[in-house]
Structure 1
Amino acid sequence: MAVSLLLIIGQSHAEAFPSHSRMVLMTENFPPFNMSADGKNFSRDANIMGSNTAVIREMFKRAGIPYHLSLRFPWDRMYNLVLEKENYALFSVTLNDTRKPDFQWVGPLSSTRRVFVAAPGSTLTLTRLEEAHNYRIGSYRNASSGAFLEKNGIPFSSSLRDQENISKLLDGRIDFWVTNDPVFHYYAAQQGVSGLRVAFVAEAETYQYLAINRNTPEAVTKRLQESLDEMSADGTLQRLQTSFLKSAQ
C-alpha cells in the first residue's frame, strides 16, 4: 500500500488512487469543526460536516488523494488506532510538544482559544492560572484541554463528552468548564443555554491539524500540505472556516 501511495503521488493530482490505497480519515464530534449530521457518535463520509471537514474534503480533492471518512467515539481509541496504522489519519488534533513526534502533521486547519467558562450569573473569575487550584474544574477526558490541565497540575472532573460539562456548570457541580472557544458556544446553543461567560483565557490560541500515521509515505503529507497552502493563498480556507463558525456565535 505504501508503494502504491508513493507512485500515485507523483502522477496527476486529478488521478484517483486505486481503492486499496485510500487513506482512512477519522474524527469525532467537535463542532463546529467536525460533527455528524445527526449528532450521533458514529457517522461516515457524506454524513459528516463542519468547517474542518469541509477543508479536509477540499484539500484531498486538490491533492488527488481518495479517502474514507469516519466519525467515531471515543477519541482515545481513534487516536491509538492512527498511531498504529499506516495511511490512517485523525483530525482535528491540537498540535503540542508531547504529540508532535508521534505523527506527521498537516495544517493548521483552524485555531481555538483555551478558556475557563463560568455559569450564567456566576461572578467567579481568575487573574492567573494558578488560582484554578482553588476551584472545582470540569473538562473533557483525553482531549487537549484535559492534557493542558494535567500538564499544569490542575485537578479536574473528567467527562466522557465535553458538552456534559454544561449541565455540571448549571447544577453547581463545577465552578469552571475548561474547553475551547468557539466550541462551547456551539454546544450551549445546541442545548438552548445562554449566558455562559468566559472567565479566563488560559491560552490565547491553539491550532488544530490533520495528524497522519508516521509510516505513511512522506510524499502524501507533503502534497496535502501543498494543497492546504494553496487554499490559504487563494482564500478558500478562510471562506470555509467563516461560513461554519458563524453558526457558533
Structure 2
Amino acid sequence: MFHIKGAITTLVLSLFLSSLSYGNELNKLTFITESYPPYNFETSGLLKGIAVDLLIAASNKAGSPVKRGQIKVYPWARGYRATLEEPNHVLFATTRTKEREPLFKWAGPIAKTKIVLLAKNDNDVKINTPEDIAKYTVGTIRDDVGEQLVKALGVPDASIKPSSNADSLVKKLNTGRVDLWAYEENVARWFIKKNGLQNSDFSTVYILKEAELFYAFSQKTSDDLINQLQKGIDEVKKTKGQISDTLYNDILSEYL
C-alpha cells in the first residue's frame, strides 16, 4: 500500500511539474508578424497593434509572458513559409480560411476582418460578378489571403500583379499600374493614409470575404501550448477593462 501511495504521489508531482514547464514554454515559441496596421505594426521602434497587444495580454494571463522584443517582423511571404515548414512558429494576424484550415493550428479569434477589392474612383471600375475581376489587373501581396481569394475565383495569373509590401501597392494603385488591390479593408486604408493620399479617392468595389483573424501555429506545435494561449485570449475577453466592459475592448478602442 505504501508503495502504491508513493507512486501516486510521484505521478501527481510529475504532472504538476509538467504543467509548470508548459507554462514556461509558450514564450519560447517563435512569433512572427508583418506590418499590417492596425493589427500589427511598428512605430518609433515600438511594435504594437490589436494583435500584438492581445498576444501580450493573453500570454500574461497564461503565465508565460511574451515580450514585444521577441516578436519577429518579416515580409508576409517569408513568415508564411517559415510557419508552414518549421516547428513551433506562430504567424499573426492570419485570416482563417477553409483553404488554410488544415495547414495550421489556430488560437483566437483576434478580430473580424473584411478582404476587399479597392479601386481608385477615377478609374470607374465596375465589379458585378467574380468573372468581371479578370478584366482588370489586381495587385496583391504574395501568399496573402487577398491573393489566395482572387486565385480561388479563377482570376488568371496574368491578371495578378504580386508585390512584397503594401506601400508599393498603394503607389501602383494610385498611379494606375494596377486597377485593383486585393487586401484587408482597414489595413489598406491605413496604408493609403500613411502614403499621404486621401481615402475618399478610393472605394471598395467588391467584397472577397468576411472572416476572422487568428494566431496560426505550425503543425508541429504542442496542443498544450496552443490551448494555453487560447485560454489566455478567452480570459482577456472576460476580464473587466479600464475604459470599457472588457480588457479586449480596451485594446480594440485603442486602434479602431
Cα distance change of structure 1 residues 76 and 169 upon mapping to structure 2, 3 Å threshold? closer
1:57 deviation in Å? Answer: 0.5
Question: Any conservation in 2 of the 1:78–1:90 contact (CA below 8 Å)?
Answer: yes
In structure 2, C-alpha distance between the alignment counterparts of 1:233 and 1:239, rounded to whole Å: 12
The structure richer in helix per residue is 2
In structure 2, C-alpha distance between the alignment counterparts of 1:227 and 1:95, rounded to whole Å: 19
Equivalent residue, structure 1, for 2:169: 165
In structure 2, C-alpha distance between the alignment counterparts of 1:144 and 1:202, rounded to whole Å: 10
Equivalent residue, structure 2, for 1:174: 178
In structure 1, C-alpha distance between the alignment counterparts of 2:39 and 2:148, rounded to whole Å: 20
1:217 deviation in Å? Answer: 1.8
TM (norm. structure 2) is: 0.81
Answer yes or no: is 1:109 the counterpart of 2:115: no
Question: Any conservation in 2 of the 1:119–1:175 contact (CA below 8 Å)?
Answer: yes
Question: Once the two structures are aligned, what percentage of the paired residues are identical?
Answer: 23
Question: Any conservation in 2 of the 1:23–1:66 contact (CA below 8 Å)?
Answer: no
1:191 deviation in Å? Answer: 0.8
In structure 2, C-alpha distance between the alignment counterparts of 1:226 and 1:70, rounded to whole Å: 20
AA aligned opposite 2:247: T
1:51 deviation in Å? Answer: 1.1
Per-residue deviation, residues 62-98 of structure 1 (Å, max 9, x unmatched): 0012446333333222223223433321111111222
In structure 2, C-alpha distance between the alignment counterparts of 1:163 and 1:136, rounded to whole Å: 17
Question: Any conservation in 2 of the 1:108–1:209 contact (CA below 8 Å)?
Answer: yes
Answer yes or no: is 1:22 the counterpart of 2:22: no
Equivalent residue, structure 2, for 1:3: none
1:106 deviation in Å? Answer: 0.2
Equivalent residue, structure 2, for 1:236: 247
Equivalent residue, structure 1, for 2:219: 214
Structure 1 alignment gaps of length 5 or more: 1-5
In structure 2, C-alpha distance between the alignment counterparts of 1:36 and 1:91, rounded to whole Å: 14
Deviates most, 63-72 or 153-162: 63-72
- Matched residue of 1:169: which SS? helix
AA aligned opposite 2:83: V
Question: How big is the alpha-carbon RMSD for the aligned residues of Structure 1 and Structure 2?
Answer: 2.4
Equivalent residue, structure 2, for 1:55: 54
Question: Any conservation in 2 of the 1:12–1:64 contact (CA below 8 Å)?
Answer: no
Task: Say which of 218, 225, 232 aligns to 1:227.
Answer: 232
Q: How many residues of Structure 1 are paired with residues of Structure 2 in the alignment?
A: 229
Cα distance change of structure 1 residues 98 and 202 upon mapping to structure 2, 3 Å threshold? closer
Q: What pairs up with 1:1-249 in 2 under 5 angstroms?
A: 10-11=19-20, 17=24, 22-38=28-44, 47-67=46-66, 69-154=70-155, 155-194=159-198, 195-203=201-209, 205-234=210-239, 235-245=246-256
Question: Any conservation in 2 of the 1:63–1:227 contact (CA below 8 Å)?
Answer: yes
Structure 2 alignment gaps of length 5 or more: 1-14, 240-245
Q: Which has the larger radius of gyration?
A: 2
1:36 deviation in Å? Answer: 1.7
